[in-house]
Every structure is written in structure tokens, then in C-alpha cells.
Structure 1
Amino acid sequence: MNRLVIIGNGFDIAHGLKTSYMDFINWYWEKRLNALLIEKTPTSEDCLCKLEITNTKDCSSWLNFFFFNSYRDLITRDWKFPPPEIINAIRENTDDFRVSCSRFFETILQSIEARGWVDIENDYYNLLKRCIEDADCGYTVKELNEQLAFIQEKLVEYLHTISSNQYIKELHDAMITFFDPADFSTEGRKKALDNIGLDIKSYEEVESDFEERNKLRPERIMLLSFNYTATAKNYNNFNIEHNFIHGDLEHPENIIFGYGDELDRHYQDILERNDNELLKNVKSVKYLETRHYHDMLEFLMAAPFQVLIMGHSCGNSDRTLLNTVFEHENCVSIKSFYHKWANGSDNYLELVQNISRNFTNMRMFRDRVVNKEQCKTM
């Protein structure tokens, strides 16, 4: 029997990496502010936003006064405040500045302001659907795709600036630990135990028998990383294999960044419009550019398997692939590692709610997902 470990951005964050989209947007704003200072021109523009200095009486000295004296340390030249706060101050200073953002980027900023986080891929898909429904929405599919490509390019640039060789022993132990039959679904338990060669209900029944206990060791473990960083490579064992399903920073040409929700009721409408520009960032299409997806399918078909979820939100942007995994006939268990905050609250319920959206068979969902009492925190 095998184990599939689904690794998402929360895995990197648990290793101290600032890999959230909000961290990325903060970095982007800092780059834009630095460029405005270095270029010393009234306008700084890319496809996401345009920063304009409308007070141009003495652009160079005025910039130095406004930024260096008010927002930047004169000695260290570090920003005194987070870049988004400085940008907000600029936006509010309508006498001297004008800031204009694309609809896509404005949506991203609104998500961060309202929720404190953002799912760029999901925002992209929602705007794509709106563009189809409303010809007067103010942007085109081509412009939306160009902006997503630009964000991808900048995201890769940002991720190259951070890395971690950190290794968390508890996570590694969880990856390679013995199976506990108590985690298996009612429907899949017999298939799993027949494959293992045991007839027991829990790990405790064979815990003291070395030979029998060893049968519960995973034969193969695939770390299916949805991240572009190399953090998952810090985890190795004789039976561990790595699959960077969305590509990695060493091969940026193969990175997949887009939407993957073929279960969405609007997706068929997108297909029927016979416009390849609409399908440019469909993950299912992009999967065909490498062997990663086929390697995953071969793993799923090889033997019964348990799923461990480490740091993946299981949101709709990966719904197609996750549905393939979760409803596969060989899947016998889906076990989540959830986050617990200092105040005692946790995100287990939110996580399983997201997992449920990746199922079309809710009876199967209730049987395969391991209850909270048997799960652990990251």
C-alpha cells in the first residue's frame, strides 16, 4: 500500500518561508517604490498598475523629500513602514499622485484588504468568467492573460529570493510512519488490508509484533508538491519520490499557474466558445507539457493509497486534480494536517469544507475523510 502526501503553500509557511501571495504583493510594491525613486521620472508603469506624480514642479527633489524624509530611513535607506501602507498614503495624496490599477490587480488588492489573504488563481478565473458574460466589463481576455503571465514572471523572481533548508522532524515522521487501519474508510478497508496482508482494526493490534507491524509500512510515498520552491526536497527516505506537479523554480518554463476547476458549471460554456485564448491557463491542458501528471496517475493506479494533506487549502483552483485523487477507486483515506492558532482556534472545519467541494459523491467524502480526533496539527 502507498501514501500520497499533498503539499501546499502552508507547508512552506510552516518552514518559515514568506511564500503567501500577500508576501509576494508586498515585495512587488517595494520593487515599484524603489523603481520610482531610482528612475526619478513622473511615471512608473507596468501592465498591473500605473504610478504617476502629478506634482512635477521639481520631480527629483520633491521625491527625495516625500520618500526619504517621510517614509524612508536616511541612514539605512530601509522603508519605515510596510510598502502597502506607503502605497495607500500615495493613493490618498490625490494632490500630488495618481494611482491606477487594472481590474485584475484591483481585485487582488481588495481581497487582501477585506480578508487579509488572496487566491490570485481563483480571482483570475472569476474575472475570466465575468469577461465572457459581460462584453463591457472594461478588460479583455487577452489583457487578463497578459497580466497573469506578468504576475507569474514576478512571482518566480520573488521566490528565487527566498529558500529554506529547514527540516521538520515531526512532518518527516508523519510522512513515513506506519499506516493505522483505524484511518481507513469503511468501504476501502478490506481492499487496503488485503493489499497489506493483515486482518486487523488498529495499529495497536500489531504494535509489538515487528514482522506484522512492518507490513503497515508504506511501500511507496509520493510527495505531490503544488509549490514551486524546493522545500519538499529536504524530505527523503528510501521509499520517497518527489513530484512537483506544477513545476519548480529550476524549470520556470514548465511552471503551471492558472485555474483547474472543470467541475465548475461555467467551464463547459468556456469550452463551447471555441476560443483558445480562454483555455490558455487551464491547468488540465498545461499538465500535458510534462510527465508529472502521468506519473501521478500511475502512482494512483499502482495500489491502494492514503492521502496526507500538508499545507494545501484544497481550494477550487486545483479542484479537477484533487477530485481525480480523492474519488479514485484506490483512495482509502484522506488525512489532513490542520493549523492551530495561539488562541486555540483551528482551521480543520474550513479545510474539510474545502475538501468536500472536490467531491461529486458526498457519501464517499464522509467515508474517506479522517475525523479530527485522528488528525494532527502542522
Structure 2
Amino acid sequence: MMNRIILIGNGFDLAHGLPTSYADFIRGYNITLKLGLLEGEYERYDGLCSVNISDPEDRKTLEQFRWMLQDNTFRFIRNLGEITPAEQYDHFVSDHLIYESKFFETINKAVESKKWVDIEGEYYSLLKKVFKDKSCKYGDPIQLNEELELIKGALTGYLKSVQKHYIKSELRNPDIEQIIHEPFNFRDVAVSAQKQFLEYIVNKWAEKNRIESTGEETKADESFAAIASNLVTNWENEGLKSKFIEEIKNGNGAVCDEFAYPERTLLLNFNYTKTADLYLPANSDIPVNHIHGELDNEQNPVIFGYGDELDEDYKTISNLNDNSYLTNIKSIRYLETDNYRQLLQFIDTGPYQIYIMGHSCGNSDRTLLNTLFEHKNCVSIKPYYYEWTDEEGGHSDNYIEIIQNISRNFNSMQLMRDRIVNK
């Protein structure tokens, strides 16, 4: 048996043109706030931010913005490279905005300065500061956890809107669909697992042709079969091995197209959205494991927090004897459903290959990824990476960045080098 896990992260949604990054969420939050003021509000409070336009002169200014930004002429002017009414309005709102949550202010400032943010990473950094730094803005984790819960509520509300209005069957990409269901490539298999992979192909071939692969010589007119059936019990025979491998490397159709497909495929979705579900064929037995929960399923609540038990500070946190530090640790939240148990059952059934599609493999999921990457049944880790052309026409990609992140999820660098597929 040889299986495949498609590991799906936020980059998967972004590749489908969906505005689902944390930075998109923050921008969406700010736009909603500004539109609310334009549509008649004078004050707003949600626990994260507050705005109160109480001064009569400020209210007059806001009325002017309401008129200008709804006028088609001013909408056209906004496209000229000048200081536009929209930019003036942004400054006006900023001058009246009060952050009720220091945590939310931190991630907002990160989006402004870096154009991106890792909310879960920022949360864990603050959580560690609570017990390590006496000057930390939070005296205990309780307030920080409450603020994270507010952010989670705003985020899920935003993503529900994205899912409702943007995730349609037309988004399905045939190239991605083909990759999900493609046969194994011998070159992608770890060197330490190549014999196991070849045995898998031999057994598939034997089943197809109703013969027993005993290592005894088979019919001479079946050259591939003769090589294959002898190889398993004569692995040290370099002549047989080289012939068999050559058959596969040469793209022998009988091997790749018929015998090298995965027995089972699992879509392991780290996103809260259901973009991954678009790739389930009708009446398919391919499961989607929404490991971090779903937006509209009370039986599978959203998991939002941090999951790095390999971090040096985690042991200290767990020894503090204060459960408020563990409120948003993913390993504990996983126990609210059987998603994690189902994943363990899948990886225990037999050898598997991992395709990484859109997951950065950052530390916020380090515990789970370490379990997948270093498991005895993992035979291949193949990251799909982003390529782009810069302003000067040069070509770049983020392959090395992904590999660097993946490496942090390994304790054994030897395993890492063997299992990760080369660029």
C-alpha cells in the first residue's frame, strides 16, 4: 500500500484568487469600519477598536467625506496620483481610532509596516512574554486570550463572507486536480524507501496479472515482470535493480500510469474555508480532514492558536501549573474532535507521500507537522512553491524559504535531506 496526503495551507486559497490571508482580513476589518462611518455611524466599539466622532466640527467633516466619497466625480479623482479624498478620509479615521486591544494594535501595525502578519505567531510571542518579561503589557494570559477570541470571531466572520461570495465550483483548477491524482514519481521517493516503493509496484503488477511475486523467474516474454518479480528477493542484485529502476526512470507507461497511483489520498486542510472540497470528485471516497475546524460546523469548531511543543519555552509553559497558558495550544484543542485521531489512523495504515500546497510549514503547526514528516511511514515530502517575475524580468521563487521552514519541523536532518524532494 502507498498513500498520499495533500497538505493544504492558506497559499492554496490565495492561488485561487481568494482574499484569505491575515493581511486581507485586517484590511477587510478596516474597510468595514470606515464604511460603517460613511454609512451613518458616529461611534463604534467591538472590543478591538473604538471610534467616537462626537465633536460637532468632526461630524461636519465626516459628512463632507460621506458626500465626496459617494460622488462619482471624486471616485474618478481617486485614481489620479494626488492626495485624494479617500486618503484624507483614511487619515481622519486614524486620528479618531483608539485600539482597545494591544494585541490587535500589534498585528495592525505589522500589516502596515510589513504588508503581512502571522497572528498565531504574534500570539505565542506575547504569551511567552507574559511569564518571561515583567514589563509585558499583559499581567496574565487571560486578557490576551480574550482578545484572541475577539480576533477569531472577527476573522471567522470575514472568512464566512469570503466563502459565501467567492468559493464557487468555477474556481477548480484542472492542473491542481491532475496533480492531486497523479501517479508517484520514483525520483520523488526517499532513497531509504525506494525498495519499499518498488515492492509496492511489483505487488500491484502481480495483482493485476494474477501472478504470485515469489522471486522465482517469470515468463521470459514479460521483461518488466521478470525483472520486477526477481528484484524484491534479490535486492542486492545490482544488475536487476538498475534495469528495473531504468524502466521507471524512462517513464515506462506500464509502470507509471497503471501501477504507481496511490491506494488512498487524503486532503489535509489547514484552512477554515472549503476550497479543498472543490477537488472531491462526485461519489469520491477521498476524504477531506478539516484539521483546524470549519466555519459553519459546531461539531468541528475553529482551532486558532499555536502548536509548537518542540519550542524550548513550551515545557516551561506547561510546568507553570496555570491552564490559562494552555487555552489556545492546538494539541489540546485537537482533542475536541476526532480529526487528529483520524489523521493518525491514516498515517499508520502504510507508507505515504506528502504534497505541500500553500502551507508555509511555519512553527505554528510544528507539532503536527513533525508527527507527519518524521513518521516511519513517510517516504516523500514534495513542496509546491510560488514562482514570479520581478520588475527587472528576473525569475524568483520561494522554494528555499519553504525548505527552511520545513527543516524546523524535523529533529533529524538526515531524515529531512532524504525525504524532501529536490527542486
Deviates more, 1:82-91 or 1:101-110: 82-91
SS at match of 1:333: strand
| Residue identity matched to 2:26 | I
Name the aligned partner's letter for residue 91 of structure 2: A
User: Quick one: distance in 2 between partners of 1:110 and 1:92?
Assistant: 12
Q: Does 1:283 align with 2:283?
A: no
Aligned twin of 1:22: 23
- Opposite residue 208 of structure 1, the aligned amino acid is G
* 1:3 alignment partner, SS class: strand
- Mapped to 2, the partners of 1:126 and 1:265 lie a distance apart of 13
Deviation at 1:60, TM superposition (A): 3.8
Q: Distance in 2 between matches of 1:83 and 1:167?
A: 39
2:265–2:286: 8 Å Cα contact kept in structure 1? yes
Structure 1 residues 84 and 345 mapped into 2: Cα distance closer, same or farther (>3 Å)?
farther
Larger Rg: 2
The match for 2:297 is: 251
Q: 2:279 aligns with which of 217, 235, 243?
A: 235
Q: Which residue of 2 aligns with 1:89?
A: 91
Is 2:43 the partner of 1:4?
no
CA drift of 1:123 comes to 0.6
Answer yes or no: is the 8 Å Cα contact 2:39–2:66 preserved in 1: no
Report sequence identity in percent.
43
Name the CA distance, whole Å, in 2 between partners of 1:328 and 1:85: 53
Cα separation, partners in 2 of 1:267 and 1:78, compared to 1, 3 Å: farther
Give the superposed CA RMSD.
2.6
2:124 aligned residue: 125
* Distance in 1 between residues matched to 2:293 and 2:75, nearest whole Å: 34
Residue 207 of structure 1, aligned match among 244, 249, 252: 252
| 1:169 and 2:174 matched | yes
Q: Give 1:357's match in structure 2, choosing from 402, 408, 411.
A: 408
C-alpha contact (below 8 Å) 1:356/1:362 kept by paired residues: yes
**Structure 1 equivalent of residue 187 of structure 2:** 182
Q: Is the 8 A contact 2:351 2:377 kept in 1?
A: yes
Q: Is the 8 A contact 1:4 1:223 kept in 2?
A: yes
Q: TM-score, normalised by structure 2?
A: 0.79
Distance 2:315 2:32 in 1: 39
Q: Structure 1 segments of 4 or more deviating over 4 A? A: 75-88
Aligned residues, how many? 364
Question: How much does 1:152 deviate?
Answer: 1.1
Structure 2 regions of 5+ residues with no counterpart? 203-227, 232-243
Question: What residue number does 2:197 align with?
Answer: 192
Residues 25-174 of structure 1 mapped to structure 2, 5 A cutoff: 25-38=26-39, 40-41=41-42, 43-53=43-53, 56-58=55-57, 60-69=59-68, 72-74=69-71, 89-90=91-92, 93=95, 97=96, 99-100=98-99, 102-139=101-138, 140-162=140-162, 163-164=166-167, 165=169, 166-174=171-179
User: Would the alpha carbon gap of residues 85 and 331 (structure 1) be closer, same or farther in structure 2, given more than 3 Å must change?
Assistant: farther
Partner of 2:222: none
The 2-side partners of 1:192 and 1:209 are apart by 15
Q: Distance in 2 between matches of 1:16 and 1:240?
A: 24
TM-score, with normalisation over the residues of structure 1?
Answer: 0.88
More helix by share: 2
SS at match of 1:160: helix
Which segment drifts farther, 286-295 or 228-237? 228-237
